Structure 1
Amino acid sequence: MANKKSSGNNKGILILIIVLFIIGIIFIINNINNNKYNYTIETIKNEDIKYYVYEVNGLYGVIDKDGNNVIDAKYAKIDIPNPKKDFFIIKEKDDSKNNKIINSKGEQLLTSYEDVSAIELDKTISSIPYEKTVLKYRSKNSYGLIDFNGKKITNADYEDIQKVDFREGTLKIKSKGNYGIINIKGTVILKPIYDDVNADGYYNDKDGYKNDGFIIRTKTDNGYKYGYTTSKGKIIIEPIYTQLSRINEIADSKNAYLITSVNGKYGINKNKKQLLKNEYEDINYNTLNQLFICRKQQAKGVYNLDGKAIVPMDYDEITIGGIYINAIKGNQSLIFDAKGNKIDTKFVSLLKATDKYSIIIDQNNNYNIVDNNNNLLLKENYAYIEYYRDNYFIVTKNGYTGIINANGSIIVPIEYSTISKIDKTEILEATKIKNNQIDLIDMNAKVVRGLENAQMSITDNYIKLESDKSVNYYTLEARQTTYKELFPNNKIYAYTQNGKWGFVDKSGQVIVPARYEAVTEQNGNTAGFKQNGKWGIIDTSGNIIVQPIYTITSSKIKFLGKYYLVSDNIGLSIYSGDIVEE
């Protein structure tokens, strides 16, 4: 009896061990598979950049971040795919067949490869428009991937390797005339069996383009057909549609909402599930209310994200104002809320601004503010109202713009031509066209005076207003500051006196008297000055290292070493030493 019980226990333990072993194997396999798809995108900030390209008389070289010459300007082309690295791709002459890789010592790198080139990216997704960890190499007219140390990532199995729009770290491959997708680890996401493959462009602030999918295309006797896959290459929809696109305005990383078309008739899919059949002549998406406005045989209706009819397909025209749906049939006009309930209101649009306030538009296109009981709060209407923050609203009346609070009190005078939010900040730019005045408005709706006849530029950590007579600096919170406060480690700073410009040190001691028409701030170890219409360059001790010989027509004047800025793609500045004849 005891032996039987012991035998049973042993079997149970054995089964448990086997189950745990299987679970462990599954876990390991899943980790391996996930690791194939996971990669890190290197981030390069402006302060990380060590090298820049410069040009003289149509030939290119390299300077460092202080403007010192690293490689003489003697090459037809130079690419710096990762400006943190001592690694430069050169083309010796315009008709050179192959590129070469050299470092700052002029030593040739990666000599075992026939030809190596950088892989370009869209400038919209990266400040450095190249893949920053991998390179493309050629062998016998085929291409593969290597890293910057020359380690082979893929064999040269492809007719071409190129960027994928909207994506960094993901590449389009070509083989036997067809296209597929790999990542920078060399993992094949989609085999090259499609006539074309493109990313759908889905983006969110948290994950960037990580959760976008791919639109695949095949060529048939009946024309092109489109389908859809996940970012890992899982087929969601086979290529059966004549058109297909993702509705990227729907913020849902787990589900792809797709507009599909069959012979000119449109429908909606949520992943594989068809929400609306392909029977509509037109479908438009309303982002605010997450609704589809559909047209079928001249009749219009509204559906929600579940494919449920909110307003029946029975109306001549449908427009959406805020959270109100305006439906017209003949002479009859009805208003529905976003759930499809008929409501009795004199407003054609109601847009929620805060928990307490909404912006309304009446039938005469007048704007006002209401409380939660739809009581009008302003004694007068406006031509336009836009919510800013807290209790503040941007308003327009008689062609001019200002700021009021919810009670109608004027906070910023209604005297500006435009008031608009400055990108990536919480403050506003206010302009007057008459004298090209630019002011700033802080988060408390207080005006911070700027300059007349000014131009504005924005960097990562400050705002610059510049006119012919003055330069002002502001923090991203609209507090006026100084260049010295922003860059305390500089040795010289611009100053003006009696309409002329010069340089002082940190203590205010004059280094170069104010005798020039204009100057630039220090960049690297140099700064620029303008005399008799031409630009020259000084070092941080005030010594002239380039006489005023440069004629520069660009509105952005910047110097590094002996060279001036000619192109600025955020992190990929190009400088020049050309003397332009007038």
Structure 2
Amino acid sequence: MNLNKKSLLVACVLAAMSTTAFAATESTSSTTVTNHDTPTSTSTRVTREQHSTSTSSATVSSTEKTSTKSSGASVSVGLGRLGDYVAAPIISPQQKAPEAIKALQNVVANDGYIKLGQLAMVKQSGKWGLVGTDGKVLLEAQFKEMESSISADGTFFVRRKKELEHIKGDGTAVAANSEEAYQHYKTDKYTRKAIADAALDGNVQKDNTEYASSSYTSFSVKSKWGFNDASGKTVIEPQFKEVYTGFSEDRAFVKNAKGKTVAIDGSGNTVFEAPTNDIDPYKNGLAEYRRHISKFNFGGLLGLAVGIGLSNHGGFYYGDAWNPVYDGVKRGYLDRNGNIVIDSKNDAVWPMTEHGTLVKNEGKLGFMNRQGQYVIQPGNYDAGIMDYSSSLIVLKNKDNEKSGVFNVVTGKQVVPFVFDSIDFVSPTRMSVVKGENRQLIDMNSGQVVFTTLKDMSIDVFGGQYAWVHKGSAEYQLIDETGKVLFRDKDKTISQAAMFRHGYAPVKSKGKWGVMNTNGEWIVQPIYDEVNVL
């Protein structure tokens, strides 16, 4: 167990490449959901000509702006227009983050450690210690490994040598011994996993039916498999050659006496024959299945990114912190009756989210809902990142190499294909590049609130604050309104992590410390690593 390097990644899981042959011949027809903002078709293809009409050659302008200089970088702050795209809301007040994402955001917002005066875990000479919000050392660097509790209760899991300890911020023991500490640690990890799994599973409205089979466990007698209930009573006699999944939503996948992969219900009756034995249990009405392919080439896709991840500096990344390419898995999805909702024979199918998933077929990329209907019609697109909390996704139009934004629930295009790049940097802010400018856009109003040069980066917001910088230099701090709060006039900052509870790990002259939102050092930069709590 490597405590200090573990991280909670909430995003689509990259499934392993299947090695099971796919022999099924079923296919399903494509169904479309009409929207009035994207080209519609009853087929799965959209022509180049249809998409080229959405291109705009307008230049970016800004009004009511004031200009300043920072280490040679021209910066302008103020409200404005997005070229010929009149400023308009990109997200509506009715849009709400999924409950699973809210659970993660609650973890982010938990300031229990700060309220106790505990600011950050710090590493020095290979050992970890603890500093307080006043910058003073609370625990000398003495632990080989150190991790805070997810409950933010002022306790930590540490190792001095081999034995695991559960301690308070003053070093006193919470657990009587290593075994008890490990039980506490397991509970903590279980909580972390449950929160992560909820987001990964899509947080869809679940079937409220209580199935007795949910408690069934498999057992074998003379190489034949059956199921017992929670009391140990046999409810399905041993008869199957193999069990591929346990029961979920009153379905389990097994190999029957004829060697076929089938789904059975809680009575042991066959419901349908499955297309492959490389299949997952049902989650919210869908089961992912996979088929083996000898080779694949899906280069060029930017991939689907969702959720929030715990960074190695104590902060939580949002949106584009984790942006994997399509993983090459030939996946599809079945409903509880065995109908193929999304076919694995498509060119590419991304992992399922609450609202659906990206599907590429015949070279065209679109977004299907969980019923297998196209919400965003297929086009000549590459996939960008997805803002899971507001149900928005970036798509790149390969005809003009420009990016825009679509709502994956309504299918409407809310930002046209006019930007060179688009990144979501908070639940209400996105960073765009057009021409020589990078702009920060308030997605509630559609207005530009901050403008800088395109070679400047706007980092992910931590609360209301974000770093702006050019590579490892020219650091400045802005708030959500675009106001510059601090500039590194002495040019000593070479790296800065996201703010959390008003504090950020900052690297200066090769060492890490902690700054507040005024750019003041709360913890001097003398440490090898810093994790804000």
TM-score by length of 2: 0.42
Return the structure number with greater strand share: 1
The structure showing larger relative contact order (alpha-carbon pairs under 8 Å, at least 6 residues apart) is: 2
TM-score by length of 1: 0.39
In our comparison, the structure showing a higher alpha carbon Rg is 1
